[in-house]
Structure 1
Amino acid sequence: MAVALLIGVLSVTAAALNPALYPAQFTRGPAPLDQWVVQYLTNANIPNVPVNKVPNPFPDWTLDETACEKSNAWAITFDDGPGDFTPILLDLLDKAHVKITFFVVGSRLLSADQANVLLRAYQAGHQIGIHTWSHMPLTTQTNEQILGEILWSGSAIQEITGVFPQYFRPPYGDIDPRVRAIIHSVGLKTIVWNEDSKDWLQADPSSAKAYNFSYNDLPNEFASWIQNPPEPDGGIISLQHDLFGGVDKVVNQCLQMVMSAGYNILPVGNCISNPVPWYWKDNTSAAWSVGNALNNGGAIAPPEARALNLSQTNASKAEANTSAISSQATQSKFVETASAAPTTLASVGSLTVSKVGAAVSFQQPGMKEAFHSMRDASSASSNTCIFEKASNMVLFTLMNLLL
């Protein structure tokens, strides 16, 4: 196979990936290349933390970036795209002269249309970050699967834009010391959030009704954040998703509200307390160093993660595909036929995690909102995960925005 060409951003007018060189779209836990494993896992100091069956319901974000440094700074971030509505959002941001951050799901870029949307966002000056290949909760993945999720996505971004992001957001904010160590071993900086718009509820009307959520109420949510900031001395990093309609009306209103309140809207890389450069751009440099990457941004992106080094043989590609299929089969063993009684999946401290019916993915909101919706278990539908703590039942709808 031919090695992917690196094209300078100024000369690029169209973008396209060769799907034959990448895992299939939305492959969960895609197998990493052998050289990635050797470079980033073999000698890495990764804690021996068990792989979760379900996402961590209370992730500890104390070691991750959750807020802008200055109280008048606001980083608006959009996850899970590019999507069909991203061009509308880009038009809106252009008119408002605002730059934001997009955390990108790599396998969406196998679509030539979405690859061009990403290129447009990058060329317009928006920050691009990595949001994994398939949007799986990472604490439920093995070390190798996590590495594949990160580096396949970063490599796709790099092939399209010519740069490899240094910023990363774990899907659902699902992180623990093991996941964080692997993220750091690749030299990436982890960004989460301190305000969740909950716009992901649009993916399931029944859940939106249960949470009493309406996308048109989002400006009211922004107004409440302005009136009651989440950080006494810092700014806001807000979470939204560019997969849904209505952004032209609702987001414009939110932008105007934020700016009228005196906030500076910035890409997240410009507002946090310990920033690193947004990207690596040197495609030929020698080995990378965690210390440089995390402390002063002086590291160079791993050569194997730059445009993939796509000189794999057909045999190695077939082996990677076999491994990917195996990883999907491993996950499918948690899918069970619906039954009348909840099935206990795991216990985390005093929290018992159960489910009713078959489950293929878990949607876990932001830390603050994780347990804000209470209702009786008898109202659970066949696709509802029940988080039981003491006498309260908290219901999470099982959603997979990528399927």
Structure 2
Amino acid sequence: MFYIGSNVVNWPYGALRGVKDGHHIAGHTWSHKMMTTLTNQEVLAELYYTQKAIKHVTGITPKHWRPALGDLDDRVRWIATQLNLTAIIWNLDTFDWAANVQAGVTNETVDKLYQDFIAMGTNGTFKESGNIVLSHEINNQTMDFFMKHYPAIKKAYSHVMDVATCMNITTPYVETSVTFPTFDQAVGTSSSSGSSASGASGASGAGASTTPGASSVKAASAGNSIVLNGPLFIAALFGLLVLV
């Protein structure tokens, strides 16, 4: 899950719930601004204070983030690396946030996009690589879109897991006591790392518990951010209370 820093401060129990439910926790800037339009100092502040807020509330410090609206360039990326942050970007967008808000985007538009993404799970599109699908947990409407299509997603793809596990990131936080399994460990094919799964996104589903100090694999669940593999599919509901 990708959390806006100011929302973590205002609604700390949402972030705590994300950790408790086993999601891979990451940042989504402090105030959802276009990062490439900001000064170096402002970019640093957006990232730094988000990390600090998440650490203060949950006890873990994320090493991953998502820029608002995907707005990213080499300057912003370099500043993020100074905070040990790696950006996660999607390649498929449900446009769920824009339904009945942005001209030309209707409920039917979003449903069709979901259906297209589901079809990719069986037609070989992602046989060798993964995708990142951007979805949101803004309101009941965006959640209803996902929940309506979730059964078909599960049928089309083999595995549901968090992004850390998908990418073999066993230590997604600064605190190395919190560990996640490798992809192979999560799907039960090997006791060692080395999965070739590519692509990444938010966090939840069949992955590791993110309770500090835990390293066991959780059972699959319908969470706020999911990664579905097998051909690899990643559907990310980017952050509780994300504002787009």
TM over 0.5: yes
Q: Say yes or no: does 1:110 pair with 2:9.
A: yes
What SS does the corresponding residue of 1:246 show, helix, strand or coil? helix
Unaligned runs of 5+ in 1: 1-101, 283-400
The verdict on how the C-alpha distance between 1:268 and 1:191 changes in structure 2, with shifts beyond 3 A counting, is same
The verdict on how the C-alpha distance between 1:247 and 1:176 changes in structure 2, with shifts beyond 3 A counting, is closer
Contact 1:197 1:238 in 2 (8 A): yes
| Percent of aligned pairs with the same amino acid | 30
One-letter amino acid matched to 1:192 = I
Say how many residue pairs are matched. 180
**C-alpha RMSD of matched pairs (Å):** 2.7
Q: Say yes or no: does 1:153 pair with 2:50.
A: yes
Q: 2: distance between equivalents of 1:402 and 1:248?
A: 14
Query: Per-residue deviation at 1:193?
Result: 1.4
Q: Say yes or no: does 1:234 pair with 2:133.
A: no
Match of 2:150 among 228, 251, 255: 255
Query: Per-residue deviation at 1:120?
Result: 0.8
Q: 2: distance between equivalents of 1:204 and 1:222?
A: 22
Match of 1:184 among 81, 85, 91: 81
Match of 1:279 among 148, 173, 179: 173
Q: 2: distance between equivalents of 1:149 and 1:128?
A: 17
Q: 1: distance between equivalents of 2:123 and 2:70?
A: 22
Query: Per-residue deviation at 1:250?
Result: 3.1
Q: 1: distance between equivalents of 2:104 and 2:53?
A: 33
TM norm structure 2: 0.65
Q: 2:120 — aligned with what?
A: 225
Contact 1:194 1:230 in 2 (8 A): no
Q: 1: distance between equivalents of 2:13 and 2:124?
A: 36
The verdict on how the C-alpha distance between 1:154 and 1:131 changes in structure 2, with shifts beyond 3 A counting, is same
Contact 1:165 1:280 in 2 (8 A): yes
Query: Per-residue deviation at 1:119?
Result: 0.6
The 5-angstrom pairing of residues 10-49 of structure 1 reads none
The verdict on how the C-alpha distance between 1:249 and 1:241 changes in structure 2, with shifts beyond 3 A counting, is closer
One-letter amino acid matched to 2:152 = M
Contact 1:131 1:171 in 2 (8 A): yes
Which of the pair has more CA radius of gyration?
1
TM norm structure 1: 0.41
What SS does the corresponding residue of 2:140 show, helix, strand or coil? coil
Q: 2: distance between equivalents of 1:248 and 1:242?
A: 6
- Superposed CA deviations along residues 313-346 of structure 1, whole A, max 9, x for unmatched, are xxxxxxxxxxxxxxxxxxxxxxxxxxxxxxxxxx
Query: Per-residue deviation at 1:252?
Result: 2.6
Q: Say yes or no: does 1:204 pair with 2:101.
A: yes
Query: Per-residue deviation at 1:257?
Result: 1.7
Q: 2: distance between equivalents of 1:272 and 1:229?
A: 20
The verdict on how the C-alpha distance between 1:155 and 1:213 changes in structure 2, with shifts beyond 3 A counting, is farther
- Superposed CA deviations along residues 35-67 of structure 1, whole A, max 9, x for unmatched, are xxxxxxxxxxxxxxxxxxxxxxxxxxxxxxxxx
What SS does the corresponding residue of 1:254 show, helix, strand or coil? helix
Q: 1:340 — aligned with what?
A: none
The 5-angstrom pairing of residues 89-168 of structure 1 reads 102-111=1-10, 114-168=11-65
The verdict on how the C-alpha distance between 1:178 and 1:203 changes in structure 2, with shifts beyond 3 A counting, is farther
- Superposed CA deviations along residues 331-374 of structure 1, whole A, max 9, x for unmatched, are xxxxxxxxxxxxxxxxxxxxxxxxxxxxxxxxxxxxxxxxxxxx
List 4+ stretches of structure 1 deviating above 6 A. Answer: none
Query: Per-residue deviation at 1:258?
Result: 2.2
Unaligned runs of 5+ in 2: 177-241
Match of 1:270 among 162, 165, 175: 165
Query: Per-residue deviation at 1:158?
Result: 0.9
Q: 1: distance between equivalents of 2:175 and 2:42?
A: 26
- Superposed CA deviations along residues 161-193 of structure 1, whole A, max 9, x for unmatched, are 001111111111111111111111111121111
- Superposed CA deviations along residues 170-227 of structure 1, whole A, max 9, x for unmatched, are 1111111111111111111211112111112137153525xx8544445423324324
